[in-house]
Amino acid sequence: MWIGAIKLRVSTKDSTDSGTDHVVRAGVLRDGNELARLELDYADENDLERGAVRSYYYSDLPRRNHHTPELPAGVGQSPMPYPDHGFEFSDGVNGHMKLRLRIHGDDKWVKDKVDLYVKEIRNVATSFDTMAWQEDASWTFVGSWPMDVPMSTDFSEGAATWTLTLQ
């Protein structure tokens, strides 16, 4: 499975002192190895304020092969054995994909819910004898983590990191 784009729908708990002004990042992990860091931050918004619900979109993800080997330099193939971008999960995402949330400051944030959506890249027939990599046009829901989690670098207020695992 190749993932070409990720959407995170993030909800902050609607209670006193649940919002934060600090940056929160989500590391995308495959079997414990970080593939990318995604920032939960819009420059022109107070993103993670009390009761806020925001969707964050990450497209044209860098290519991170898993079990599909890279072709040697100067060697081409038609169709290519992999797309030009995206994260490969050769064994699927369940049990292999994790999101590691990390807050960068002591202003507590309470994660209410995180929903994960992806756009898969598939090798599809474009004619009777031609194949090409194409990214899905619509988002596919993959998983949700609804547990409230207080986060802060002040350990008396919460955890600095929290890992969300797809099961």
Q: Which domains does the chain have, with CATH numbers?
A: 2-165 (2.60.60.20)
Task: State percent of the chain over pLDDT 70.
Answer: 100
Q: With 90 as the cut, is the pLDDT of residue 45 above it?
A: no
98 compared with 44, residue with greater pLDDT: 98
Confidence of residue 42 (pLDDT cuts 50, 70, 90): confident
Looking at residue 22, its pLDDT comes to 93
What is the average pLDDT value for the chain, to the nearest integer? 95
| pLDDT for the residue numbered 127 | 85
The answer on pLDDT for 121 being more than 90 is yes
Q: For residue 30, is pLDDT > 90?
A: yes
Q: What is the pLDDT of residue 145?
A: 96
Estimate to the nearest angstrom the gap between the alpha carbon of 56 and the chain centroid.
9
Give residue 44's pLDDT band: very low, low, confident or very high (50, 70, 90): confident
- pTM, 2 dp: 0.94
Which residues are CB-neighbours of 162 under 8 A, at least 6 positions away? 100, 101, 111, 149, 151
CB 142 within 8 A of CB 116: yes
Q: Residue 115 pLDDT more than 90?
A: yes
Q: Greater confidence, 130 or 8?
A: 8
**Nearest by Cα to 166 from 94, 113, 101:** 94
Residue type present at position 44: D
Is residue 122 within 8 A of residue 133, CB to CB? The reply is yes
Mean pLDDT (whole number) for 29-48: 93
